[in-house]
Amino acid sequence: MTTHDTAYERNAPDARVVDRALAGSQQGVFWLEDVRDEMVPHPPLTGTADADLTVVGGGYTGLWTAVLAKRRNPGAQVVLLEAETIGWAASGRNGGFCEASLTHGEANGRTRWPEEYDTLARLGDDNLAAIVRDVADLGLDCHLERTGVMTVAVEPHQVAWLAQEAGGELLDAAAARASIDSPLFLAAHWEREGTALVHPARLATELARAAVELGVEIHEHSAVTGLDSDRAGGPVTVRTANGLVRSERVALGTNVFPSLVRRTRLHTVPVYDYVIVTEPLSTEQLASIGWTARQGLADLANQFHYSRLSADNRIMLGGYDAIYRFGGRVRAEYEDRPASHRTLVAHLLALFPQLEGLGITHRWAGAIDTSTRFCAFHGTARGGRVAYAAGFTGLGVGATRFAAEVMLDRLSGLTTERTELEMVRTMPLPFPPEPIASAGINLTRWSLDRADHREGQRNLLLRALDSVGLGFDS
């Protein structure tokens, strides 16, 4: 089959237009800067403390765990330890798409857990509903909008794929462009109920505020260096550089960073996702693209894009490039990748050529904790005294609350519908060590890109991965 340019490449602007758009941009996370003046500092841990539950990680997983633990047992002593500051990593950098799906979409879920997928879908819907209630009940000022997601076809072969989407509303090109006006749109599917949009950093800082009001003790700049415990039982000692917590139970929400449970360290790899944000659109610019319903926006490519509007009508665009670096390390210098940011600007202006002249204010990246099954895994260690969840693969805004419930069920010794799920009871395959990991991941990425240039046709490698349950279709 002939290889051809994608719609984004066929409609790319002149390189000088991209240069002008990026000229005033800064390397920094818009969401985190937007809440900087409202962030409340929490002191580092010093000395020795005792707790009923110690939570490691100040992102969504840890924050939901701390909040829900106090709601279950208001008298419990809960301590949360964060290596940097609340929400500074993935929880403050993502697109703010809070999805009901716990399985990275129906296709992935039905392929991996066909017998329990309907239960997983119901529990995912319940989880999203619980998040919406919690936002109201806890007074979380996180700019929640229940607007759903419009998934668009920008290539002729993708139009047929939209017909396979469950629920929602199918739109032809005219109807899609009446909602969001891009010359690239050939058709769309608008699922209005399964996704809410939030300001990601605000969700993190507001959960921290709620946790403190419930009585959680939060310590920032308190990286955990290790866990110690007696095989016979008793407390788990959680160590930091300047202190320790003796804890009856421990919940780990360490995301992409090296796991404190050594046997799971090959179960995630960091894949860097790149993002840009524009300056606020003027009234005229916004009118030129419509987007009055403020829904999330995504496309159907293997190297897919996601986009949305901020509260002040900036356009955020992320995705496409997903970069793995040899050795699987998380480093700040990986966040500045000019080629990826230039590509995103070019794709944004291909989508909306009427916005030529609009400036980019922020560009950044974040590491996604990717697992081989493309959604979270759950486990316990130290005789059930330690629980963990990781591997959300970009689906953590909503699924982390579900993971918190699973960890708390298990740490309490409860058997629930959640803990009995095959998805919860089983682990994904680990990634191989280097150099095999780097070669395999980058070859897979090349193959996905090639499929996007060959009308979606997957090569032998992708078909082989699909056949053994390791394939990914965005």
**Cα 212 from Cα 473, distance rounded (Å):** 40
Contacts of 150 (CB under 8 A, 6+ apart): 171, 176, 179, 180, 188, 189, 190, 191, 295, 296, 297, 298
DSSP state of 164: T
Number of residues in the chain: 474
Cα separation values, 35 from 96, 177, 197, Å? 14, 33, 17
Give, for 236, the enclosing helix (H) or strand (E): strand 236-240
**Cα 34 from Cα 30, distance rounded (Å):** 6
Mean pLDDT for all residues in the chain? 95
pLDDT of 13 higher than 60: yes
pLDDT of 168 higher than 90: no
How confident is the model at residue 3, as a pLDDT?
77
CATH number (3.30.70.20, 3.10.129.10, 3.50.50.60, 3.40.190.10) of 38-140+199-265+373-425 reads: 3.50.50.60
**Cα 412 from Cα 206, distance rounded (Å):** 26
Per-residue pLDDT tens digits for 304-314: 999 999 999 99
* DSSP 3-state percent helix, strand, coil across the chain (nearest 5): 35, 25, 40
Give burial (CB, 10 Å; 0-12/13-18/19+) of 474: buried
Tokens at residue 77, please? 């002593």
Contact 120, 422 (CB under 8 A): no
Per-residue pLDDT tens digits for 76-96: 999 999 999 999 999 999 999
**Cα 193 from Cα 91, distance rounded (Å):** 22
Phi/psi zone of residue 13: left (φ > 0), alpha (ψ -120 to 50 degrees), beta? beta
**Cα 252 from Cα 254, distance rounded (Å):** 6
- Confidence bin at 26 (pLDDT 50/70/90): very high
DSSP, residue by residue, 244-271: EEEEEEEEE--TTSPPSSGGGTTS-EEE
DSSP state of 145: B
How confident is the model at residue 241, as a pLDDT?
95
Per-residue pLDDT tens digits for 215-225: 999 999 999 99
- Confidence bin at 152 (pLDDT 50/70/90): very high
Per-residue pLDDT tens digits for 89-116: 999 999 999 999 999 999 899 999 999 9
**Taking residues 370-396, what's their average pLDDT?**
96
Share of the chain above pLDDT 90, in %: 90
Lowest mean pLDDT, pick from 13-27, 37-51, 234-248, 440-454 = 440-454
Lowest mean pLDDT, pick from 192-206, 224-238, 241-255 = 224-238
Cα separation values, 104 from 146, 188, 394, 403, 425, Å? 19, 19, 9, 14, 18
CATH number (3.40.5.90, 3.30.9.10, 3.90.320.10, 3.30.420.40) of 7-34+149-191+269-370 reads: 3.30.9.10
Give burial (CB, 10 Å; 0-12/13-18/19+) of 232: exposed
pLDDT of 454 higher than 80: yes
**Cα 244 from Cα 27, distance rounded (Å):** 35
Cα separation values, 411 from 223, 227, 337, 354, Å? 22, 16, 41, 54
How confident is the model at residue 474, as a pLDDT?
41
**Cα 69 from Cα 82, distance rounded (Å):** 17
Tokens at residue 267, please? 């179960």
Domain coordinates in residue numbering, the chain: 7-34+149-191+269-370, 38-140+199-265+373-425
**Taking residues 399-421, what's their average pLDDT?**
98
The Cβ of residue 166 has, within 10 Å, a number of other Cβ atoms equal to: 11
CA distance from start to end of the chain: 22
Phi/psi zone of residue 103: left (φ > 0), alpha (ψ -120 to 50 degrees), beta? alpha
**Cα 58 from Cα 203, distance rounded (Å):** 12
**Cα 193 from Cα 390, distance rounded (Å):** 26
